[in-house]
Amino acid sequence: MKNRTFPSSKNFLKFYVTEEPNDNHANHESGTELGFWIYLMSDCILFAVLFIVYSVLGRSYAAGFSPVDLFDLNNILVATFLLLFSSITYGFSMLASAERIKSKTIFWLCITAFLGICFLVMEFHEFRHMIFEGATPQRSAFLSSFFALVGTHGLHVFFGLIWLSVLIVQVLKYGLISDNQRRLMCLSMFWHFLDLIWIGVFSFVYLIGVI
C-alpha cells in the first residue's frame, strides 16, 4: 500500500498567505477601474448637459456681447495646442512607466503638468479680460452658459493638475509600483477625456461662434 503524502503546514499556510492576497489585489484593481469608469460616465453626463444648455442659450446675447466681440481665436488655438500636446507627453510618460523607467516617467509627467498650467493661465487671462470688459456671467444667458461650460472644464483641468502633482510625488517616493501604475492609467483616461471635451468646446463654442 502506497503512502499518501499530505501538504505540510508550511505549504498550506504559504498557499493561503501568498495566493489569496494576490486574488484580492486583482479584485481591488478591477474594482478601482470599474469605479473610475463609472465616474467618467457621470462626467460625460455633466458635460452633455452643459453642452445642451449652451446650445439652447448660446444665441441669447441680450443686446450685449457676442462671440465675435469676445473670442480671440489665435489665443484659443494656442491654448488648444497646449492641452492636446499635453496628452502626447502624458502618453510618453505611460510608455516610460511600462518600461519601468522612473526618471523618464517623472520627466514627461512634469512636462505634462507644465503644459496644463500654461493652458490654465491662458484660460484665466481670457476670463479676466472678458470680465474687465464687462462680459460677466450675469450679463446674458450666452455668457452664463459659456462660463458654466468652459469654467467647469477648467476646474477639471485644475483638479487634474493637483492629482498629477500628487502622483509625481508618489512615483518619486515609491517608484513604479503596481498601485502607482494603476493611478497613472486612471489619470491617463481622465486627462484624455478632458482633451476630448475641449475639442468639443473649441469646435462648438469658439470656432462656430466666431464663424
Residue 139 belongs to a domain:
yes
Contacts of 156 (CB under 8 A, 6+ apart): 43, 194, 197
Residue 128 belongs to a domain:
yes
- 44 C-beta neighbours (distance < 10 Å), count: 13
Question: Domain span at residue 179?
Answer: 72-211
The stretch 186-205 carries a mean pLDDT of 97
The stretch 63-92 carries a mean pLDDT of 96
Residue 110 belongs to a domain:
yes
Residue 37 belongs to a domain:
no
Residue 149 belongs to a domain:
yes
Q: Is the pTM of this model over 0.75?
A: yes
The model's pLDDT over 123-179, given as tens digits with 9 standing for 90+, comes to 999 999 999 999 999 999 999 999 999 999 999 999 999 999 999 999 999 999 999
The model's pLDDT over 19-29, given as tens digits with 9 standing for 90+, comes to 444 555 555 56
Residue 13 belongs to a domain:
no
Query: What CATH number is associated with residue 128?
Result: 1.20.120.80
Residue 135 belongs to a domain:
yes
**Residue 31: pLDDT band with limits 50, 70, 90:** confident
Residue 148 belongs to a domain:
yes
Write down the number of H helices and E strands in the chain.
Answer: 8, 0
Number of domains in the chain: 1
**Residue 33: pLDDT band with limits 50, 70, 90:** confident
CA-to-CA dists, residue 110 to 60, 88, 91, 93, angstroms: 41, 13, 13, 9
